[in-house]
Amino acid sequence: MTSSETLPARLTRKAVLLGAIPIMIANAGAPIVGFVDTWVIGNFVGREALAAIGLGAVIYGIFYWGFGFLRMSTGGLSAQAHGAGDQRAVQAHLFRAVPMGFCIGLLIFAFQYPLINAIMKVFPAAPDVDAGARAYLHARLWGLPATLSSIALMGWFIGLARPKRALYMQVVLNLVNAPLSVLFVAFYGWGLSGVGLASAIGEWAGLGAGLMLAAREIHRRGGFDCTILHAKTLFDGQALRKLGTANLNIFIRTVALTLGFTFFSRAATEQGTTFLAAHTILLQFITLIALVLDAFAHVAEAWVGAAFGAKDEKRFDRAVRLTTEFSIVFALLSGLFIYLFGPYIIDMITDNMLVRETARTYLPFCALAPVLGFGAWQLDGIYIGVTRTKAMRNAGVAAVLIYLAAHTLLVPVYGGAGVWAAFLIYYVVRGLTMLPAWPGIKRDLQAISA
């Protein structure tokens, strides 16, 4: 295929929306797993177990999001190869990323006991909460090799502007996970181990579906190119250096962001079990916000990356403008939805009156998160598309340092409100710290387009 054949049609607002909707649903896969697990535990077990699954999910998120570079670098590089019409490179990015994710997941699974022991020392949880979080983690980590392989595969689909394939993976995952969670907890009484095991089985099912869809995508693009399996191609020095640099920068940036979110959850544990249980519920809203705003960031990633690979400045500018417009509108709608309907959703998740009251108290902070933080999501997508990973790395480190300073100043004075206020400041500075790199991106694009 030529470059013009691989590039999508002219970007319109309708195309942005149609591209974002399946990504929203696909992105919902991971949070829906967490929401289902939280709902099952909140309704069939109790408050301490709800706090435990919240803590366990945060720690699992360290493993999951800590290796988010598998999706980001794969998405950005695949988008650029797609825009340039290089089908051989498109396939090579897939065959480098998915096995890498599997091997990393397998390594973490093998060393899970010392890793979990070390991480749990960071969180001052009550003994029953600590034990429950460990039970959940040891069960769910059976699915980590599939999880990390899947996020690399989803990055490949998103980079190629094939979001429906990523959606189908998540549909399979949740069709398996949801009924198994209810079965294992409500009927078998396996508690936190049951929801963790159900999630792990769902992850393997999602990966299986994704690999079949990848085979269909390769066939659609002209069939499998056997030459990419040759050592000179798969282990090409220049390609590996580019991948390694992108992965390292995104990994450092992800470690910084994970530190920020981990610190946020650790601060919640210090406020007591009731605050932590309420915090667990409110985190579901934050995750739902992310799946909406990430959708437009992913559309930007694919279209901006393809335009950059094709050296088309006009297409690039249009992709940035239209996706940003939608990001702003949906950020406002998300905040309004959380503020209006959040109390009803809280009541659905738990029947504990003290937890309900605490969650409602801090719900307005949740509603402000998308309004103040949409720039962080949107700029992530644009910078991933053009693989400006160094700028993302520097911004991520700077933002978390500012967040920690804000937390140190606010929490002693305002308590729980200070915990949330510092977190909102974190979202704002995540976007602001990426802006200085924007003029350089434009200059580079103009130079290669000339």
3-state secondary structure string across 172-199 = HHHHHHHHHHHHHHHHCCCHHHHHHHHH
Please give the pLDDT value at position 214: 93
Q: Which residues contact 92 (CB under 8 A, 6 or more apart)?
A: 228, 233, 234, 236, 239
Please give the pLDDT value at position 197: 93
Which pTM was predicted?
A: 0.73
> What's the Cα-to-Cα distance from 3 to each of 25, 41, 77, 94, 396, rounded to whole Å?
29, 50, 15, 19, 33
Q: Average of pLDDT values for 230-251? A: 70
DSSP string, 318-376: HHHHHHHHHHHHHHHHHHHHHHHHHHHHHHHH---HHHHHHHHHHHHHHHHHHHHHHHH
pLDDT interval class at 161 (50, 70, 90): confident
Portion of the chain with pLDDT greater than 90, in percent? 37
Q: Average of pLDDT values for 58-74? A: 80
Q: Average of pLDDT values for 96-106? A: 91
> What's the Cα-to-Cα distance from 272 to each of 14, 112, 125, rounded to whole Å?
47, 27, 9
Above 80 in pLDDT, residue 314?
yes
pLDDT interval class at 1 (50, 70, 90): very low
Q: Which of 91-100, 108-117, 432-441 has the lowest mean pLDDT?
A: 91-100
Whole-angstrom distance, CA of residue 168 vs CA of residue 211 = 11
Above 80 in pLDDT, residue 368?
yes
| Residue with the larger pLDDT of the pair 235 and 148 | 148
Please give the pLDDT value at position 174: 84
**Most confident by average pLDDT, 6-15, 81-90, 223-232:** 81-90
| Residue with the larger pLDDT of the pair 414 and 76 | 414
pLDDT in tens, 21-37: 887 777 666 556 666 77
Above 50 in pLDDT, residue 6?
no
Comparing CA positions, the residue from 327, 335, 329 lying closest to residue 304 is 327
Whole-angstrom distance, CA of residue 238 vs CA of residue 172 = 37
Above 50 in pLDDT, residue 101?
yes
Please give the pLDDT value at position 46: 65
Q: What are the tokens at 102?
A: 């599997």
pLDDT in tens, 289-306: 887 888 899 888 888 888
Q: Which residues of 212-233 are buried (b: 16+ CB within 10 A; e: fewer)?
A: ebbeebbeebeeebeebeeeeb
pLDDT interval class at 233 (50, 70, 90): low
Output the CA torsion sign for 381, 383, 384, 385. Answer: positive
pLDDT in tens, 38-55: 777 777 676 677 778 878
Please give the pLDDT value at position 433: 95
Q: Which of 56-60, 407-411, 436-440 has the lowest mean pLDDT?
A: 56-60
DSSP string, 262-281: HHHHHHHHHT-HHHHHHHHH
Q: Which amino acid is at 309?
A: G
Above 90 in pLDDT, residue 365?
yes
Portion of the chain with pLDDT greater than 70, in percent? 91
Q: Which residues of 270-291 are buried (b: 16+ CB within 10 A; e: fewer)?
A: ebebbbbbbbbbbbbbbbbbbb
| Residue with the larger pLDDT of the pair 132 and 4 | 132
Please give the pLDDT value at position 149: 95
Q: What are the tokens at 214?
A: 């990848």
Q: What are the tokens at 203?
A: 């992850």
Output the CA torsion sign for 11, 17, 18, 19. Answer: positive
Q: Which of 125-134, 336-345, 372-381, 403-412 has the lowest mean pLDDT?
A: 125-134
As a whole number, the mean pLDDT across the chain is: 85
Comparing CA positions, the residue from 157, 112, 160, 158 lying closest to residue 137 is 112
Comparing CA positions, the residue from 241, 210, 217 lying closest to residue 87 is 217
pLDDT interval class at 287 (50, 70, 90): confident
Please give the pLDDT value at position 17: 87
Please give the pLDDT value at position 450: 60
Q: Average of pLDDT values for 210-236? A: 77
